[in-house]
Amino acid sequence: MAKQLQSFFLEEWLRSITLISSNKSSSVHSSSSSSAQAIIQAWADLRDSLKHQSFHTHHLQALKILVSSQASLYVSDPQAKLLLSILSLQNLCLPQESYPLFLRLLYIWVRKSRQSSLVVDSAIEVLLHLISKQSHSDESSLFFSEGILLLGALSSQLSASGNSKRACLGFLCKLLKEKYRFISSSDELASNALAGAGYALSSSASIYFGRILDILVNIWDQEGGPSGSISQGLMLLHLIEWVQSTSLNLRSLDKIESTREVLDIVRPAHSSVAVVMIAAGVLRALNRSGSSDFLQLNNSAEKCIEFVARDLVSRTKGFNYGNEPRPNLLLQSLALALARSGSVSYQASLPVSLALALLTEVFPLQRIYSKILKSPEENWIGVLEEIKQHLSSVIFKEAGAITGVFCNQYASANEDAQSRVENLVWEYCQEVYLWHRQTTLLLLGRGDHVIREIEKIAESAFLMVAVFALGYFRQMRLPEYMDTIRAVIVSVQENEEACISFVESIPSYDDLTNNGGSSNFTRVEYSWSADEVQTARIIFYMRVIPTCVERLPASVFKKLVVPTMFLYMGHPNSKVARYSHSMFVAFVSSGKDPTPDERILLKEQLVFYYLERSLEGYPDITPFEGMASGVAALVRHLPAGNPSIFYCIHCLVEKARILCSMVSSRDTDIWKKWDGDLEPSKKVLDLLIRLLSLVDIQVLPSLMKSLAELIVQLPSSGQSMLLNQLYQQVAESDDVIRKPALVSWLQSLSYLCSQDLVGQTASAKTMGTTSLNRIDARL
């Protein structure tokens, strides 16, 4: 075979660069490749068809064999003449299916071989005659797409005469204008037609350049015509990039000027999607060329995009992105165009339009939530498929690039544009928070797989907001995001008004427990503890408030924080419950207040409910570490001898007594080790023993007496272990004030335990009034 001169197929490049698969049923291509012997036989069959002026099934099969080998097939001038001769036979009736195959083989000939001028002119003449007599039908769409592709390829050949090129280009314009609406039903057919237009635009006969470009500007959104698609829009973008790159490299000033003229006369009647994609293709080519010699063309392209964006923003004022049932093609196109075009100068409408695109098209969470909440359960599988399709879509995969352009435009925006963008983003965050809670509660346990897919979009949306927030804070001239957070916390800590304002934003108790009155909307019974989204928000408050509780008036804490604190103290997740205990510790430990009596009074009031709430949930719900920290805080920070401390000790002793009574005293092994069922009671006893070194001297006697009464009622094995623990703690104590009292008390307690061992039965529960009186007297 002769050496291949050219093997670039523009339509395949367009499909590959826009992620469009070429392996579809309507395609004349095939991924298989026939053997050399099969190819030779196929050509022989076609020569036989011409010789006998007949066309049968095996001749059609021969065409298919040749086309299936497109990647390796070479078509020479003699073979092209053979194909043209068969097509020119007047008395031969060819099947409709064969025409696209003939045209594809001629296209391979044009793209891979060096043609003679006579054969090219002959091919154009035959092709024009063949297409002009072909009427349109659904089956002929493939024929017309291949015809436009071949016409464009022929018009770009240097070997074609000037008259043939002009005739070819004129007919191509007619076909593009009349037939594209039918061809565009398939992305693959559309790629053929667009590639044909691309070849024509690269033709040396530039007389039709402006006309073809004008047709492309009007290719969609005309009355009765197609509305376009993202994939076809991207193909148009990269087609224009290819054409303009060639023009820039060759310094084709007439084509560059024609492009600028078409862009300068953009009108509302033009297809907005096409305008945006063509302008973006021009900008992409200019940015990649690195040349600064064509500023007028660059400005014209940027003005086109700004014109469309400004019109779009003006039509979307008051735009409710949660109620949009379908994707917005223009918003998606605008976002992708700006992401792929490279550097674009700031225009006031661009950051707003990009914000709308990100919030409604790239991360269309509200649209998804709305469909789930309004659909019966049997329809969720359809919504799940939509989510999966979106996750694999071009617009979602380009989220990072779109966010980058958005942040750059925002950084250059004026104050009004920045304010509108900020409002859109923060409103979106609030909406997503509320809708995600509703949706998660509805799907929980019934559509967990749907939740997982939604969270993939939600996580990416969170990253987008985080990146924007970083730019937002930098715009405020603060060096780093973390520095900003620290500064905000310090501001809240040092400013009572800021602290109160922050606390006032906590959801009310009714909102937390009744889902803000929206429980009927989710069609499921609401459980506040199952609302993970809301819980995460409350945890944030519980982590920040302790840092500023000193600045928070007791009345505000009581009204706004206490109900939530006690509610989440009963949360089944121990990690969440511990945050509530930490909040209690922070408040009890605080001391600075304009009205200290009011704060002390509130502390005393909270102790009673705190102990009730904590102990009723122990050990099933209440985390011991959280409760222990709360008890330690209140005995340290309440005034000495405060009744609340006595009440605290009483409650703990009673809880320990109840827990110990639930275990049989006959099981000596468990009492020796204090494990298994005794572990919760052992922890409470450990806490009481630890309090011996924490409570003030006024409370200590009462604690020693109550603890002794509890210990002497335990089985001997349990007594021994606790006495050993007490001996060690007292021995290690360096408190010169309370140590003498503890030593004396411990000696008396040891004596009483030994007396009970001798004079009583194994069951400590049988201790009578005499024994209790003896404890009182000895202590």
Dump pLDDT digits (tens) for 340-397. Answer: 998 899 999 999 999 999 999 999 999 999 999 888 888 889 999 999 999 999 999 9
The pLDDT of 536-559, averaged and rounded, is 88
Cα–Cα distances in Å, from 147 out to 89, 242, 481, 609? Answer: 19, 21, 58, 85
Q: Which residue has the tokens 């993970």?
A: 532
Render pLDDT for 142-187 as a digit per residue (tens, 0 to 9). Answer: 999 999 999 999 999 988 898 999 999 999 999 988 888 778 888 8
Contacts of 185 (CB under 8 A, 6+ apart): 141, 226
Q: At what angle do helices 10-17 and 230-250 cross, to 10 degrees?
A: 120
CA–chain centroid gap for 63, Å, is: 49
Contact call for residues 259 and 282 (beta carbons, < 8 A): yes
Determine the Cα–Cα distance for residues 712 and 764; give it in Å rounded to an integer.
7
Determine the Cα–Cα distance for residues 584 and 578; give it in Å rounded to an integer.
10
Q: What is the pLDDT of residue 24?
A: 43
Contact call for residues 756 and 701 (beta carbons, < 8 A): no
Q: What is the pLDDT of residue 33?
A: 67
Determine the Cα–Cα distance for residues 118 and 653; give it in Å rounded to an integer.
110
Contact call for residues 11 and 149 (beta carbons, < 8 A): yes
**22 pLDDT higher than 70:** no
The pLDDT of 613-641, averaged and rounded, is 92
**213 pLDDT higher than 70:** yes
Q: What is the pLDDT of residue 287?
A: 92
Output the six-digit token pair for 269: 């009647």
Q: At what angle do helices 624-637 and 596-616 cross, to 10 degrees?
A: 150
Contact call for residues 135 and 108 (beta carbons, < 8 A): no
Strands annotated E in 251-396? none
Determine the Cα–Cα distance for residues 296 and 276; give it in Å rounded to an integer.
17
Q: What is the pLDDT of residue 336?
A: 96
Cα–Cα distances in Å, from 760 out to 351, 408, 465, 713, 754? Answer: 86, 84, 72, 11, 10
The pLDDT of 458-468, averaged and rounded, is 89
With 0-12 / 13-18 / 19 or more C-beta atoms within 10 angstroms meaning exposed / middle / buried, residue 208 is buried
| Residue of 520, 380, 526, 536 lying closest to 458 (CA atoms) | 536
Contacts of 122 (CB under 8 A, 6+ apart): 81, 84
Contact call for residues 750 and 723 (beta carbons, < 8 A): yes
Determine the Cα–Cα distance for residues 438 and 10; give it in Å rounded to an integer.
49
CA–chain centroid gap for 770, Å, is: 72
Determine the Cα–Cα distance for residues 520 and 445; give it in Å rounded to an integer.
18
Q: What is the pLDDT of residue 104?
A: 95
Output the six-digit token pair for 744: 């004396």
Q: What is the pLDDT of residue 482?
A: 54
Task: Choose the weakest-confidence range: 308-317, 335-344, 482-491, 765-774.
Answer: 765-774
Q: What is the DSSP string of 543-585?
A: HHHHHHGGGS-HHHIIIIIHHHHHHHTT-SSHHHHHHHHHHHH
Q: Which residue has the tokens 């949306």?
A: 461
Determine the Cα–Cα distance for residues 233 and 330; give it in Å rounded to an integer.
10
Determine the Cα–Cα distance for residues 667 and 670; give it in Å rounded to an integer.
6
pLDDT band at 64 (very low <50, low <70, confident <90, very high): very high
Q: At what angle do helices 365-374 and 380-391 cross, to 10 degrees?
A: 170
Determine the Cα–Cα distance for residues 359 and 16; give it in Å rounded to an integer.
28
* Half-sphere exposure (Cβ direction) of 643: Cα atoms closer than 13 Å: 5
| Residue of 331, 483, 350 lying closest to 405 (CA atoms) | 350
Output the six-digit token pair for 764: 């400590």
What pTM value is reported for the model?
0.71
* Half-sphere exposure (Cβ direction) of 455: Cα atoms closer than 13 Å: 11
Render pLDDT for 670-707 as a digit per residue (tens, 0 to 9). Answer: 666 666 666 888 889 999 999 998 999 999 999 999 99
Q: What is the pLDDT of residue 775?
A: 45
Task: Choose the weakest-confidence range: 348-352, 481-485, 663-667, 766-770.
Answer: 766-770
Render pLDDT for 538-547 as a digit per residue (tens, 0 to 9). Answer: 888 888 888 8
SS (H, E, C) 343-384: CCCCCCHHHHHHHHHHHHHHCCHHHHHHHHHHCCHHHHHHHH
* Half-sphere exposure (Cβ direction) of 489: Cα atoms closer than 13 Å: 13
Which strand (E) or helix (H) includes residue 477?
A: none
Q: Which amino acid is at 744?
A: S
Determine the Cα–Cα distance for residues 639 and 602; give it in Å rounded to an integer.
13
Determine the Cα–Cα distance for residues 564 and 562; give it in Å rounded to an integer.
5
The pLDDT of 705-710, averaged and rounded, is 91
Angle at alpha carbon of residue 16, lines to 12 and 21, rounded to 5°: 90
Output the six-digit token pair for 163: 């008259």
Cα–Cα distances in Å, from 500 out to 234, 495, 549, 725? Answer: 52, 9, 10, 46
Residues written for the chain: 779
Render pLDDT for 270-297 as a digit per residue (tens, 0 to 9). Answer: 888 999 999 999 999 999 988 788 899 9
Output the six-digit token pair for 188: 């693959």
**DSSP label at residue 136:** P
pLDDT band at 55 (very low <50, low <70, confident <90, very high): very high
| Residue of 283, 347, 359 lying closest to 322 (CA atoms) | 359
Cα dihedral across residues 435, 436, 437, 440: positive or negative: positive
pLDDT band at 223 (very low <50, low <70, confident <90, very high): low
Determine the Cα–Cα distance for residues 640 and 647; give it in Å rounded to an integer.
13
Residue 665: helix, strand or coil by DSSP?
coil
Q: Which amino acid is at 524?
A: V
What is the greatest pairwise CA distance in the chain? 132
On average, the pLDDT of the chain sits at 84
Q: What is the pLDDT of residue 675?
A: 61
The pLDDT of 497-503, averaged and rounded, is 85
Cα–Cα distances in Å, from 117 out to 155, 206, 282? Answer: 12, 19, 33
Q: Tell me if the bond preceding 479 is cis, omega within 30° of 0.
A: no
Output the six-digit token pair for 369: 């939530």
The stretches of 113-140 forming alpha helices (DSSP H) are 117-132
Cα–Cα distances in Å, from 101 out to 59, 95, 107, 154, 570? Answer: 11, 11, 10, 17, 74
